[in-house]
Amino acid sequence: MMRATTSPAAPTMTTPFALTCTAVIAAALIAFAGTASAGVKTIELPPDGAELRPSTLPGYEKARAQCVACHSAEYMQYQPPTAARPYWENMVKRMKGVFNAPLDDADIPDIVDYLVKTYGNEQPKK
């Protein structure tokens, strides 16, 4: 003859632990809901101390319109001056692919040309 076994009853929501968990979750949801409905927040960024180096290359205006909309021009200045064209091309494609920079694929060669000739290893020798 087989004997039936019973398992302990599942904890109910009336145990002190369950009530505490429920209270913590409820408080977290209320706090999150309060921040989600707080509306649009605005921030004021400090002025950018660096500007792109001016150039007559078509990529200059495109870089002014696209690159510095997301980050400082200092970013370009901190790149190695020995950086070759493939480095800059990969960097621009990374900005588009990884960081979702709003770049038109047709503009990338002009931007890369500007960057490598202004900040990279194709700069005029001084």
CA end-to-end distance (rounded Å), the chain? 99
Residue 79, CA distances (Å) to 62, 92, 96 in order: 19, 13, 18
The tally of domains found in the chain comes to 1
**Lowest mean pLDDT segment, chosen from 31-35, 73-77, 85-89:** 31-35
Does the residue 2 lie in any domain?
no
Does the residue 79 lie in any domain?
yes
Does the residue 92 lie in any domain?
yes
From CA 126, how far away is CA 124, in angstroms rounded? 6
Is there a contact between 109 and 62 (Cβ–Cβ < 8 Å)?
Answer: no
Q: What is the CATH number of the domain that holds 109?
A: 1.10.760.10
From CA 54, how far away is CA 68, in angstroms rounded? 13
pLDDT, tens digit, for every residue of 35-83?
555 688 888 877 777 899 999 999 999 999 999 888 888 889 899 999 9
From CA 80, how far away is CA 59, in angstroms rounded? 19
Q: Give backbone dihedrals phi and psi of 53, rounded to 5 degrees, phi first.
A: -70, 125
Does the residue 68 lie in any domain?
yes
Does the residue 70 lie in any domain?
yes
Does the residue 75 lie in any domain?
yes
pTM check: above 0.75: no
Does the residue 66 lie in any domain?
yes
Does the residue 125 lie in any domain?
no
Question: Tell me, what's the pLDDT at 104?
Answer: 94
From CA 87, how far away is CA 116, in angstroms rounded? 9
**Residue 65 domain boundaries:** 58-118
